[in-house]
Amino acid sequence: INTNSDTVSPSSSPTLTQEKRTSPLVSSPEEDTVIPIRGYNRLMVKSMTSSLQIPHMVYADEINVNALTEVRDTLRPLAQEMGVPKLTYMPFFIKAASLALVKYPVLNSTIDVEEMTLTYHKGHDVGVAVDTERGLAVPVVKGCEDMSVLEIAMELGRLYSLAAEGNLSEADISSPTFTLSNIGAIGGTYMSPVVLPPQVAIGAMGKIQRLPRFVDDHSDKVEAARIMPISWGGDHRAVDGAQMARFSNLWKSYCENPASMMFAMR
């Protein structure tokens, strides 16, 4: 699952509403059928073609979301009162990523191979892959570095609604600097996420499972844990394995100890 950038955004209209969905056939056709590639799927074709130029590297880990689940469940009633009908994990994952990007800004950069430059972006504009009836859409939550978890959740709700209706504007999908995809909402654990140039990094969360885990390295005690796989993809021209691992470790620490995010927020 990937995202869109300003290099592949539609040029004919500020929204994607006039492009009808290009859907896979739900049953076997009686004869060969040609379906035009339009809308979100056309953007995906262009972006995936561009991504073939990237020497990819993948780093994977797993995180224990027991503490995060408790925090999310505790905050859900308050979030509902403040206009967020269903508080999910994604706003926390996005904020944790933004905080980790502060320390490892290379993952929030874009590469220009022609000029041999990296642009480190001040703003954390996080693209979020969304599965819709019209195909894959990747709206962008802009300015995450200055937003609270609640504000990110509210913006996600707005973007999800527009994506479902096919009413995302060009501004809503343009110029992400970093991308997250929650493939686990559909199924699966690990994957090899594909980076879209000029971005240099993408993360994909797998499904959360209740699994047995040792409490620590010095005991045989086992407890139930809610475990989520995370897969990171990076452009190896800009990001090396050590940088990706350190970024992932910091992101993981924020997700496993969500209270620690308060100390890092400005």
176-209 pLDDT, tens digit each? 999 999 999 899 999 999 998 999 999 999 999 9
Confidence check: pLDDT of 59 > 80: yes
> Could you say which of 6, 73, 146, 240 is catalytic?
240
Confidence check: pLDDT of 76 > 90: yes
User: What integer best gives the mean pLDDT of the chain?
Assistant: 88
Higher per-residue confidence, 27 vs 132 = 132
Nearest to 202 by CA among 177, 185, 184, 172: 177
Nearest to 182 by CA among 75, 88, 256, 248: 88
Higher per-residue confidence, 11 vs 88 = 88
Does residue 32 have an active-site annotation?
A: no
Distance between CA 211 and CA 165 in Å, rounded? 37
Global pTM value: 0.85
Confidence check: pLDDT of 97 > 90: yes
What is the model's pLDDT at position 19? 39
Does residue 121 have an active-site annotation?
A: no
The answer to whether the CB of 137 falls within 8 A of the CB of 40 is yes
Nearest to 68 by CA among 266, 265, 261, 263: 261
Higher per-residue confidence, 12 vs 52 = 52
What is the model's pLDDT at position 25? 58
> Could you say which of 61, 121, 131, 236 is catalytic?
236
